[in-house]
């Protein structure tokens, strides 16, 4: 239903805009959390908590802090193919906020030794205690991402680094496995086996 607007923006329009922006940062839903890694996290499992809804980025009770030094490294596997368009990194307004971010594409199980290689893209970060600054990626380099590694090599001078929220914006496409089904059919020369194989792949995908 149409509605009139006063001098300022109406509340419903503001809520719609917020909902749209929140939906744009929904790639956290496409992370394979069972295989997500955060290296050098002080508290085990805390790295996964920074990937959450955009609307909950202000929850200061959930954060990851580095342990031995200021470095943090995230290995983020997705459940399909991702076109990554932007990143938000939210921390404290002090020396613990990360000062640099380096992104690597499709290098599973990266270690700190692996970060010596050239990243797909690197960013100099500004302190962002409210989660408002978006860092756009070079989409051509991040158009088919199955695994994303995020390396934070330094901060603004503190002994440890602290991150409250990481937002990932982009598009997700489901991984297809039709090739596997075709191989199953071609591998068998016995026509009688085909009846069974027509059932087996379907059962596999449903489970």
pLDDT tens digits, 48-94 = 999 999 999 999 999 999 999 999 999 999 999 999 999 999 999 99
Contacts of 180 (CB under 8 A, 6+ apart): 201
Name the token pair of 17.
Answer: 């805009």
Contacts of 193 (CB under 8 A, 6+ apart): none
Integer CA distances (angstroms), 27 to 98, 170, 188, in order: 21, 7, 40
pLDDT over threshold 80, residue 178: no
pLDDT tens digits, 132-166 = 999 999 999 999 999 999 999 999 999 999 999 99
Which residue, 63, 133, 141, 61, is CA-closest to 103? 141
Q: pTM for the complete prediction?
A: 0.77
Number of Cβ within a 10 Å radius of residue 131: 18
Name the token pair of 73.
Answer: 């490294």
**Domains along the chain with CATH numbers:** 33-174 (2.60.120.470)
């Amino acid at each position: 239903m149409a509605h009139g607007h006063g001098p300022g923006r109406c509340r419903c329009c503001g809520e719609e805009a917020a909902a749209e922006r929140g939906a744009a940062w929904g790639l956290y839903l496409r992370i394979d959390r069972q295989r997500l890694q955060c290296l050098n996290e002080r508290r085990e499992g805390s790295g996964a908590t920074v990937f959450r809804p955009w609307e909950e980025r202000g929850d200061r009770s959930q954060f990851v802090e580095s342990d031995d030094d200021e470095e943090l490294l995230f290995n983020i596997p997705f459940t399909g193919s991702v076109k990554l368009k932007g990143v938000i990194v939210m921390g404290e307004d002090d020396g613990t906020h990360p000062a640099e971010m380096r992104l690597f594409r499709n290098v599973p199980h990266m270690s700190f030794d692996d970060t010596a290689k050239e990243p797909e893209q690197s960013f100099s970060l500004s302190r962002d205690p409210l989660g408002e600054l978006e860092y756009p990626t070079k989409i051509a380099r991040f158009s088919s991402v199955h695994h994303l590694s995020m390396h934070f090599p330094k901060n603004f001078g503190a002994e440890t680094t602290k991150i409250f929220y990481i937002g990932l914006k982009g598009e997700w496409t489901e991984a297809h496995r039709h090739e596997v089904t075709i191989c199953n059919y071609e591998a068998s020369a016995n026509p009688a086996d085909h009846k069974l194989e027509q059932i087996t792949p379907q059962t596999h995908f449903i489970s």
